[in-house]
Amino acid sequence: MRIGLVDVDGHAKKKKWGATVYPNLALCKIARHHKSLGDEVEWAIPFYHYDIIYMSKVFNFTPDDLTVYDAETIIKGGTGYDICSKLPDEIDRLQPDYSIYPHIPKNTAYGFLTRGCPNKCPWCVVPRKEGFIRPYMDVDEIAIEGRKHLVLMDNNILAAGDYAKEQMWKIIERGYRVDFNQALDARLVTDDFALLLAKMKWIDRRIRFGCDTHKQIAECERAIALINSHGYKGEYFLYTMLNDNFDECYKRTHYWWERNHRCREEHKPNIYPYAQPYRDPDNPNRPIPLWQKDMAQWVNKHQIFQMTDFANFEPRKGFKCSEHFK
């Protein structure tokens, strides 16, 4: 059979601004499955005929691919199409075939140690999509083909308790370098976890936390101090969701702006916030307020963030963000 793949989010293409380009794991597993059956697998090309085309979309805000493909069957899947869509178990358990993404470094693998989350944050689709937290794969099953850099996309690894600790010890013993790229929950950093996090090797020397509410600032500070007390010398990266409350978002991002200035003066490693406007999972067309776009730009352009306060930031000619305060 001839199989065509479509990565609707466009991860197959190189993105601007040097943004990290992640492989679509579902397509990698589908590729592995069909190759094991002796099928031909390639990125779908318009006007070619395929037996099956798989279209996968992770984000609900990605516009659909409206190309007219020629196939006996077209299967659409991924959270971007349907929040409940899942691969059949026998495909889900396969190792991804990274060869469909030739730009992915040969030393890097992607995966999940756990699925699900015990929390129910109102803005998040994970509890609805994946349910309660549970073990999913062993780290050695992810580190295939001698790949030692592991991008682990767990939604809340620290909530997995002893299983998380066991996996982290394995990561340390094997010398894997990791990135928990969906961020850690600072509230769950106990002294045991802090020791493990300080001992692990990190891709880009960076530990990520979520800082989506004002309350989480104190939790992030507590976790950072605890991890540093165990000898960690790297940086921190904080996902900072922008909600509809301008005042709260400004105070939260400004807190890290000031903190960063102090770090630089004291020659301490930086703490990088990364701001993302809230995306409504049930309404992908909900407009993003201009102040959120400007604030995200201010925070995420690190050179500007280092130099300029939000009020003085000029995202457009003749427009200063001090206007947003009026």
Whose Cβ is closer to ligand SF4: residue 125's or residue 311's? 125
Torsion angles phi and psi, residue 202, rounded to 5: -115, 135
Give 121 or 290: the residue with its C-beta nearer to ligand SF4: 121
**Quick check: 10 and 62 in contact, CB under 8 A?**
yes
Smallest gap from Cβ 78 to ligand SF4, in A, equals 18
Rounded to an integer, what distance in angstroms lies between the CA atom of residue 90 and that of residue 212?
36
Q: Smallest gap, in angstroms, from Cβ of residue 126 to ligand SF4?
A: 4
Cβ nearer to ligand SF4, comparing 97 with 219: 219
**Is the distance from CB of 254 to CB of 243 less than 8 angstroms?**
no
Structure tokens at 43: 């990125």
Provide the b/e sequence for 14-50 (b: ≥16 CB within 10 Å).
Answer: eeeeeeeeebbbbbbbbbbbbeeeeeebeebeeeeeb
Residue 163 vs 169, nearer CB to ligand SF4: 163
What tokens does 156 get?
A: 């809340």
- For residue 283, the minimal CB distance to ligand SF4 (Å) is 18
Report in angstroms how near the CB of residue 17 gets to ligand SF4 at its nearest.
25
Task: Give min distance, CB of 112 to ligand SF4, in A.
Answer: 12
> What own/partner pairs with CB < 8 Å and gap ≥ 24 does 249-255 have?
249/275, 249/292, 249/295, 250/295, 250/310, 251/214, 252/211, 252/213, 252/214, 252/217, 253/295, 253/298, 253/299, 253/310, 254/309, 254/310, 255/217
Residue 121 C-beta: closest distance to ligand SF4, Å: 3
CB of residue 204 to ligand SF4, shortest distance in Å: 21
Q: CA 276 → CA 1, 239, 288, distances in Å? A: 42, 7, 10
Interface with ligand SF4 (CB under 6 A): 117, 119-121, 124, 126-127, 155-156, 185
155/167 with CB nearer ligand SF4: 155
User: Of 153 and 198, which CB lies nearer to ligand SF4 in the complex structure?
Assistant: 153
Neighbours of 306 (CB within 10 A): 13
Closest to ligand SF4 by CB, 27 vs 126, is 126
